[in-house]
């Protein structure tokens, strides 16, 4: 069983969501990815969401662009934590996606990340933090990741000395 489900509304969202995949792989977190459109595949989306716990998932990362209903509709259909990633759109540079995901009604939360690559990276880190509550290996991976970021920052600063 996989700990994290990565769901995107369209295969065109993969370039953004690949950043989540890359981080989860780097951290050694088990995941599975899906393409499920809230608008074109509503029955499949509901089925996936209602069965996510039984399928072993602990966290769902949902990336969507444009109207971006996917994260909210998944959150409405499961009690698992859902992390929304606004995918940058051509027409409004992802602001439409961000506002769609972040404007959830009370009682149906979606942890919303920033638009695009940084949001996808942070979604994977947040999902790992959630899973690390009960997984020492994930905790160690996160500590190593933070140390590597620190060391890279220190090293890059030395280049200006």
3-state secondary structure of 113: coil
Q: What is the pLDDT along the chain (161 residues), one digit of tens a residue?
A: 899 999 999 999 999 999 999 999 999 999 999 999 999 999 999 999 999 999 999 999 999 998 899 999 999 999 999 999 999 988 899 999 999 999 999 999 999 999 999 999 999 999 999 999 999 999 999 999 999 999 999 998 887 66
10 appears as a binding residue in the annotation = yes
54 appears as a binding residue in the annotation = no
Q: How many degrees, rounded to 5, is the angle at CA 102 between CA 115 and CA 50?
A: 105
Domains, the chain, in order of start with CATH, read 4-159 (3.40.50.1970)
The closest alpha carbon to 22, from 34, 10, 11, 31, belongs to 31
Judging by beta carbons within 10 Å of its beta carbon (0-12, 13-18, 19+), is residue 38 exposed, middle or buried? buried
Q: Which residues contact 135 (CB under 8 A, 6 or more apart)?
A: 3
Judging by beta carbons within 10 Å of its beta carbon (0-12, 13-18, 19+), is residue 115 exposed, middle or buried? buried
What predicted TM-score, i.e. pTM, was given to this entire model? 0.95
33 appears as a binding residue in the annotation = no
Chain CA centroid to CA 123, Å: 4
């Amino acid at each position: 069983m996989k700990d994290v489900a990565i769901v995107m509304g369209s295969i065109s969202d993969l370039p953004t969501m690949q950043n989540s995949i890359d981080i989860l792989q780097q951290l050694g977190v088990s995941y599975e990815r899906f393409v499920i459109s809230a608008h074109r595949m509503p029955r499949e989306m509901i089925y996936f969401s209602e069965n996510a716990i039984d399928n072993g998932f602990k966290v769902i990362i949902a990336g969507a662009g444009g109207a971006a209903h996917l994260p909210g509709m998944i959150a409405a259909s499961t009690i698992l934590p859902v992390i929304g990633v606004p995918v940058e759109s051509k027409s409004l540079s992802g602001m439409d996606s961000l506002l769609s995901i972040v404007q959830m009604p009370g009682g149906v939360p979606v942890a919303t990340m920033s638009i695009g690559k940084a949001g996808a990276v942070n979604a994977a880190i947040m999902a790992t933090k959630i899973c690390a509550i009960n997984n020492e290996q994930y905790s160690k991976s996160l500590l190593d990741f933070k140390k590597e970021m620190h060391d890279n920052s220190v090293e890059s600063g030395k280049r200006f000395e």
